[in-house]
Amino acid sequence: MSVNEKIAIEHGLKSDEYKKICKLLKRTPNITELGIFSAMWNEHCSYKSSRIHLKKLHTKGKKVIQGPGENAGVIDIEDGDAIVFKIESHNHPSFIEPYQGAATGVGGIMRDVFTMGARPIANLNSIHFGSTQNKKTKNLLRGVVHGIGGYGNCMGVPTIAGQTSFDRSYNGNILVNAMTLGLVKKDKIFYSKAAGLNKPVIYVGSKTGRDGIHGASMASASFDEKIEEKKPTVQVGDPFTEKLLLEACLELMSGDSIIAIQDMGAAGLTSSSIEMASKGNLGIEINLNKVPCRETKMTPYEIMLSESQERMLIVLESGKEEIAKKIFDKWNLDFAVIGKTTNTKNIQLFFDNKQVANIPVNTLVENSPMYDRKWKKSKLPKKNKINKTIFKSLKIKDTLKKILSSPNVCSKEWIWQQYDHTVMGDTIQKPGGDSGVVRIHKTDKAIAATVDSSATYCWAHPLTGGKQVVCETWRNLISVGAKPIAVTNCLNFGSPEKEENMGEFVECVQGISEACKYLDYPVVSGNVSFYNETKDIGIKPTPTIGGVGLIKNYKKMITMDFKEIDNIVLVIGKTEGHIDQSLLSRIILNENNGPPPEVNLFNEKNNGLTLLNLIEKNFIKSAHDVSLGGIITAISKMCIKGNKGIQIKKPKFLINEIEYFFAEDQGRYLIEINPKNLEEVSKILDKNSVHYDEVGKIIDKEMIIDQKTKLTIDELKSCNTNWLKSYMV
Amino acid sequence: MKSSVITFPGSNCDRDMDVALTKFGFKNKMVWHNDKELPKSDLIVLPGGFSYGDYLRCGSMASKSKIMHSVINFAKSGGLVMGICNGFQILVESGLVPGVLLRNKYLQFICKNVHVKVENKDNTFFKNLDKKVLEFHIAHNEGNYFCTNDQLKEIEDNNQIAIYYCDQNGNTNDQINPNGSIKNIAGIFNKEKNVLGMMPHPERMIDESLSGEDGSIFFKNLLNNIK
């Protein structure tokens, strides 16, 4: 088949991109070469619209061993240990085929982590669905949860935390973001940079099939009514093979056979071989007849573009083939020497003794298109003038019940009980807390991890929203007593070709960068997912941040459940009464406009570090950050978890009760302390200029706001826990 | 006391079991599924996981692996064998304990703490245990125990039911049944009571920072009984 512009456009390339390819090659590419270019130059692999802005992210820090650009980021957690982690999207495939889409998302991110030599120790996920009224939502949610569980449970890696939200803007594009953390010794980290000439290039893992061909291109386009036809582009996962691959790779990595290793993820054999060659400034020669295939008569084009899962590409030290083969034989995995490194700086492919592709590696990587797309700056919306008489008509009790049972606040137990969260025997904080926490096996250390996003705030004002998400994860880590170290980001947006969407992206990235820099909380890995839109309707901007922190002595970990009757509860951080974009505003007052709560980075850092100091001094019995639904929602969750009540002290200052209880001002935490420590704690808070108010005293089994407003813990619990279960029946 | 934990391809609780056994004083060895011979052991454990991916009936592939011949001979000569979760499924498939394990009633994987009532203490696994109700942890997709009426009668006549799902006070009823098991059965013995298969994971309950500590009680007691 001879290639022309029409065929190039069918491959998702633009007309001028095709012209550029012909110019770089000084000839017309053949079909295999065109396939390779289309796979490398699509948005998903090339980051052509985002690269220019991603450079602005704050990525440096004392604890950073490896920042963005590798399979995953790596941070130092002392004693020679390091944590490898990354988050990645699998949005498009999950909408088309929820089980396999979500499952292979989990499989892919785990491979990114163990490719670097780390044993995965925890999984997290952030999943977003359309309105609960939408007829597709239930099936998509069920499929995605089964898929995540199906893969992670079989791998024997605990899923320790996550986030689930529902919003109309995801009706046509759900989001599935999966995150994995792995543990590695600092001096045993593996990278993807090939080195040395004539070194054997090894293919290991599953056989190559016709599944997932053009998966990465599919993920770089919007959906229309023909999406069902794209089902064959979704990969099929086999967690059992991945478990074997994990064990076999770690076994091989314990020796000194590997020069470079790269998993075959998006764009399969194409991107993995080119990545390794590009980083090593080398060429690679592959004999495609040697690639283990699952199906007969696969063409070079299909072999290069297949996204079959559970495969790895390794550059070995010469002469180590037998040692490596023995290990993969033991684990019943395919092992084939398929090529070698060369000094040509080209990728050369051979099939049936003929050369079928010969492309300079730099044309695919450094010369890939980069766009500085037009974008529109957003203005901070005007504040709503809410008529205070409306507040008088609201009953706190009814409002609280509505919020506790609303889809985005209710307990997600139905979801996380389907994930094995205790395997590996080190999970010391399960899902449902502010962060998941796992111990570093056989040490006193523990790692806390959390994942968060706030599409509503980002949609209202991307710059503030971007900052807010970073701060939210920072607070989640502090609340369990962990020192925040670094983040990974998954940037889910609409089409970059639309100025509004591009503007949302640029400004969210700016917000993320500002917050990360101020908090010394760098971005070490991540991915970008554009074109989350169907028939021109895009999602709300949804940057997802995964935060990771260290607890030096796991016995000092904090949980959110109220511990002891008569203890005092304080709120740290000032409550100004910001209602716009709050849950109260959106689901009770039906008001969707207005600015998100302001993010004050100074207070954020100061409040957080002061709380860590109080935790270090053993003053804190329980803690929880204040987020969606305000103080009263946060208190309710602490009551439910601890099965204890609270006698609430009304605010002294001039702020309406409703505003006080439901406002979503940032930088706040609730803490429980013993009354005998109140003086000491106050002193520390005052000394650090941290604002605080006393909220109440812990009592038995009842929340008492005033004589007329009382709720039993069972009432709170049934509101919070029943909604999702009954929805999913 | 010596123990051996078998690793099948796809086992994923083998390390956890090794940690637990070692913590409570067993000298534990890991044994590869493709080995023929078992090391000298006082206890053999088949751990949880997804042996061979469980793509066929759970445990059926593993029950045919090389080492299982030795495990079956060991059990038949009176040696102590314990199968947890996937290990229980392997025991069922190899015929060492009666019945089958079906998919959970609500067709979902389930991971949570449960209470179990220890019914029969006249055996090496539970002898001298001073608690009647233990808090254990389950994590499985196929733990719905089923057998024929004739089998059930035989099992009951021989006191082969080891543990039942119950509430914290030891009451067994449908509401507390997490997976639809017949009679709330969570674990079962062979006729001779030297083979125990159970769905709950005691190895996940071995220190105060984890889901609970009743696993510690179980392992300490087991070690004392074997001594």
Nearest CA of chain B to the CA of A414: how many Å? Answer: 9
Residue of B nearest to A240 (CA): B53
DSSP letter string over A457-488?
HHHH-HHHHHHHHHHHHHHHHHHTTPEEEEEE
- Start-to-end CA span in chain A (Å): 52
CB burial of residue A87 (10 Å; 0-12, 13-18, 19+): buried
CA dihedral A13, A14, A17, A21 (to 10 degrees): 50
CB burial of residue A290 (10 Å; 0-12, 13-18, 19+): middle
Phi, then psi, of A185 in degrees rounded to 5? -80, 140
pLDDT tier for residue A686 given thresholds of 50, 70 and 90: very high
Q: What is the pTM of this model?
A: 0.96
Task: Please count the residue pairs, one from chain A and one from chain B, whose beta carbons lie less than 8 angstroms apart.
Answer: 83
Residue of A nearest to B136 (CA): A422
pLDDT tier for residue A655 given thresholds of 50, 70 and 90: confident
d(CA A292, CA A264) in angstroms, rounded, equals 14
Q: Which of B52, B55, B203 has the CB atom closest to A425's CB atom?
A: B203
Q: Inspect the interface and report whether the beta carbons of B10 and A425 lie closer than 8 Å.
A: no
Say what percent of chain A tops pLDDT 90. Answer: 91
* A222 pLDDT more than 80: no
Q: Is A250 on the interface with B (CB under 8 A)?
A: no
Cβ pair B86, B48 in contact under 8 A: yes
* A86 pLDDT more than 70: yes
pLDDT tier for residue A656 given thresholds of 50, 70 and 90: confident
A559 vs B contacts (CB less than 8 Å): none
What's the pLDDT at A537? 83
d(CA A484, CA A208) in angstroms, rounded, equals 41
* A285 pLDDT more than 90: yes
Mutate to test the interface with B, among A154, A442, A480, A555 (most CBs of B within 10 A): A154
Q: Measured on CA atoms in the order A37, A38, A44, A49, is the torsion positive or negative?
A: positive
d(CA A103, CA A289) in angstroms, rounded, equals 30
Mean of pLDDT values over B178-205: 97
What's the pLDDT at A266? 83
pLDDT tier for residue B108 given thresholds of 50, 70 and 90: very high
B15 vs A contacts (CB less than 8 Å): 424-425
What's the pLDDT at A128? 98
d(CA A12, CA A41) in angstroms, rounded, equals 9
Token pair recorded at residue A510: 């700016």
Q: Inspect the interface and report whether the beta carbons of A424 and B206 lie closer than 8 Å.
A: no
Catalytic residue among A11, A90, A214, A624: A90
Nearest CA of chain A to the CA of B140: how many Å? Answer: 8
Rounded (5°) CA angle A528-A180-A438: 145
Catalytic residue among B58, B85, B147, B166: B85
Mutate to test the interface with A, among B19, B34, B66, B111 (most CBs of A within 10 A): B111
Q: Inspect the interface and report whether the beta carbons of B210 and A427 lie closer than 8 Å.
A: yes
Determine the 3-state secondary structure of A341 from DSSP. strand
- Say whether B201 is catalytic: yes
Q: Is A342 on the interface with B (CB under 8 A)?
A: no
What's the pLDDT at A708? 85
CB burial of residue A510 (10 Å; 0-12, 13-18, 19+): middle
Nearest CA of chain B to the CA of A695: how many Å? Answer: 29
* A216 pLDDT more than 90: no
Where do we find the tokens 């072999």?
Answer: A303
What's the pLDDT at A2? 84
d(CA A92, CA A233) in angstroms, rounded, equals 10
Nearest CA of chain B to the CA of A404: how many Å? Answer: 23
Q: Is A331 on the interface with B (CB under 8 A)?
A: yes
Rounded (5°) CA angle A79-A81-A86: 150
What's the pLDDT at A386? 83
What's the pLDDT at A437? 98
* A232 pLDDT more than 70: no
CATH 3.40.50.880 fits B2-226, yes or no: yes
What's the pLDDT at A229? 64
Cβ pair A423, A123 in contact under 8 A: no
A427 vs B contacts (CB less than 8 Å): 210
Say what percent of chain A tops pLDDT 70. Answer: 97
What's the pLDDT at A573? 96
Residues in A 131-170 with any Cβ partner in B closer than 8 A: 146, 149-150, 153-156
What's the pLDDT at A231? 62
Task: Give pLDDT tens digits for A140-193.
Answer: 999 999 999 999 999 999 999 999 999 999 999 999 999 999 999 999 999 999
What's the pLDDT at A68? 95
Q: Inspect the interface and report whether the beta carbons of A154 and B10 lie closer than 8 Å.
A: yes
Complex-level ipTM: 0.97
What's the pLDDT at A668? 98
Q: Inspect the interface and report whether the beta carbons of B10 and A418 lie closer than 8 Å.
A: no
B111 vs A contacts (CB less than 8 Å): 416-422
Q: Inspect the interface and report whether the beta carbons of A243 and B50 lie closer than 8 Å.
A: yes
What's the pLDDT at A225? 65
Mutate to test the interface with B, among A142, A422, A440, A555 (most CBs of B within 10 A): A422
B54 vs A contacts (CB less than 8 Å): 154, 240
Ordered by start, the domain boundaries in chain B are 2-226
* A360 pLDDT more than 90: yes
Q: Inspect the interface and report whether the beta carbons of B139 and A240 lie closer than 8 Å.
A: no
Mean of pLDDT values over B133-150: 97
What's the pLDDT at A653? 67
Q: Which of B10, B16, B52 has the CB atom closest to A423's CB atom?
A: B16
Q: Inspect the interface and report whether the beta carbons of B9 and A241 lie closer than 8 Å.
A: no
Spell out which chain B residues touch chain A, with contact meaning CB-CB distance below 8 angstroms: 9-10, 12-13, 15-16, 19-20, 48-50, 52-55, 108-112, 137, 139, 141, 201, 203-204, 206, 209-211
The helix, strand and coil proportions of chain B, stated in percent and rounded to the nearest 5, come to: 30, 30, 45
Task: Give pLDDT tens digits for A7-57.
Answer: 999 999 999 999 999 999 999 999 999 999 999 999 988 999 999 999 999
What's the pLDDT at A282? 97
Task: Give pLDDT tens digits for A301-319.
Answer: 999 999 999 999 999 999 9
d(CA A174, CA A92) in angstroms, rounded, equals 8
Q: Which of A238, A332, A423 has the CB atom closest to B139's CB atom?
A: A423
What's the pLDDT at A706? 85
Number of Cβ within 10 Å of residue A361's Cβ equals: 25
Q: In what order do the strands lie in the sheet with B80-84?
A: B27-32, B2-7, B43-46, B80-84, B195-198, B185-189, B161-166, B110-118, B133-140
- Say whether B137 is catalytic: no
Mean of pLDDT values over A704-724: 94
d(CA B132, CA B136) in angstroms, rounded, equals 13
* B179 pLDDT more than 70: yes
Task: Work out whether strand B43-46 and strand A568-572 pair parallel, antiparallel, or are unpaired.
Answer: unpaired
Tell me the pLDDT of chain B averaged across its residues. 96
Buried b (16+ CB within 10 A) or exposed e, B2-14: ebbbbbbbbbbbb
Residue of A nearest to B86 (CA): A154
Q: Is A422 on the interface with B (CB under 8 A)?
A: yes
Number of Cβ within 10 Å of residue B207's Cβ equals: 15
- Say whether B140 is catalytic: no
pLDDT tier for residue A210 given thresholds of 50, 70 and 90: confident
DSSP letter string over A253-276?
HTTT-EEEEEE--TTHHHHHHHHH
Tell me the pLDDT of chain A averaged across its residues. 95
